[in-house]
Structure 1
């Protein structure tokens, strides 16, 4: 598999706080990588480093120079505009003519099952609908790599299933996914690989089956405790 991103010895600091410590990580094309760990372990920071929003204080990050990527945040920002315009603006900012941007936005809304809500104020949509709208906005950019930060953490079970189904569909189309999640069932359903973080350190990096069914104690005692629900 072709590597899209490669981190080597990456540290991130926020003042006196070291958020990431010596992270070595490669993401290959077509993978579905789940980032797990307790709150404050560095998942969100690592996603932002991968997306180029945070520069490492030390270490290096290499990436495919032509890589197209998008990121969906835990609480996506919605503009004071219709659902259609929230998606079309992403295209327009990229240089697409407005008429064509609207057409592409309608296609994206249809892709996530929101076509009938195109003219609704995006901020009046439910949490699940807003998350699907954020996915439509990301999908409309034709990313090869999609980064997601706890995409279903505040959603009800039905909305979670809808978002998970879209993530699975995107992956089936060849999109590479890197997502942070506290939902271990979701990780088992969607991931091909699990990265466990603790205190900003990467303590385990395994295929999903090996992580949940293998002798995890030999790799990371902390990861084993987390899977057993004894670390949260």
Structure 2
């Protein structure tokens, strides 16, 4: 299995100089679906921003297919490593206009067949491409956001709490969609606060706490027999909260 991304001893500090991430090292392999969990403020979203190079580490190195990040054009890197956020931002215009955004950066276009294929891949009908993107429901916007990112044909898909603002029905739809995308061979890193979701979706799981990856392994093992006390307590507390809210 090929190593897509290597992370070596990265450190990221806030404006006050306090580390948000401390000495993170890990490897992301081709075809993996990794769910990333941990307490709020543990550095999960900051970690994704470094992987997508929306920010650079203060020290340490990242490599994509063996090439240092700083040797790769930023736009080309972001094309290979796409990201989808919790709140999908639709730009002015139609769904079609939004899908064109990524390819247009590289002076490319999409055929009608390619647009229809992207929409079908995220469970949307071809007729929606002429709709005003900002008039869509939350679940539809998240699907368009996924399609827009997939239009660049990324090797890696980063997901940052992509169902946190959705209703239960839309959440289940997006979960099924992401499973389908992973089964097509896509490598996925998925930050989620929903531990039931992480347990169900993950192939591997990384646990963040205090700016570090404190535990990583197969999802079933992380949830059934966590090695770290922090992990065990976090999982128990989180599931207790979820049962109260459900």
Q: What is the TM-score of this pair, normalised by structure 1?
A: 0.92
Aligned to 1:196: 207
Cα distance in 2 for partners of 1:186, 1:159 equals: 13
Secondary structure at 2:147's aligned position in 1? helix
Contact residue 88 and residue 104 of structure 1 kept, 8 A: no
Aligned to 1:52: 53
Cα deviations by residue, 1:79-99 (Å, 9 ceiling, x for unpaired) = 0111111012222222214xx
1:117 aligns with one of 128, 131, 144: 128
2:142 aligns with one of 124, 131, 144: 131
Secondary structure at 1:76's aligned position in 2? coil
Aligned to 1:36: 37
Secondary structure at 1:10's aligned position in 2? strand
Contact residue 195 and residue 238 of structure 2 kept, 8 A: no
Aligned to 1:77: 89
1:105 aligns with one of 115, 122, 125: 115
Larger deviation, residues 145-154 vs 115-124: 115-124
Aligned pair in 2 of structure 1 residues 19, 102: CA closer, same or farther (>3 Å)?
Answer: farther
Cα distance in 2 for partners of 1:127, 1:103 equals: 25
Cα distance in 1 for partners of 2:10, 2:128 equals: 42
- Shift of residue 76, structure 1, vs aligned partner: 2.2
Q: Does 1:3 align with 2:3?
A: yes
What is the aligned length? 227
Cα distance in 2 for partners of 1:180, 1:15 equals: 24
2:233 aligns with one of 206, 225, 230: 225
1:172 aligns with one of 183, 187, 190: 183
* Structure 2 alignment gaps of length 5 or more: 68-75, 242-246
Contact residue 156 and residue 187 of structure 2 kept, 8 A: yes
Q: What is the TM-score of this pair, normalised by structure 2?
A: 0.87
Cα deviations by residue, 1:75-119 (Å, 9 ceiling, x for unpaired) = 12210111111012222222214xx35553332122212223211
Cα distance in 2 for partners of 1:54, 1:105 equals: 31
Name the Cα RMSD after superposition.
Answer: 1.8
Cα distance in 1 for partners of 2:12, 2:214 equals: 17
Secondary structure at 1:56's aligned position in 2? coil
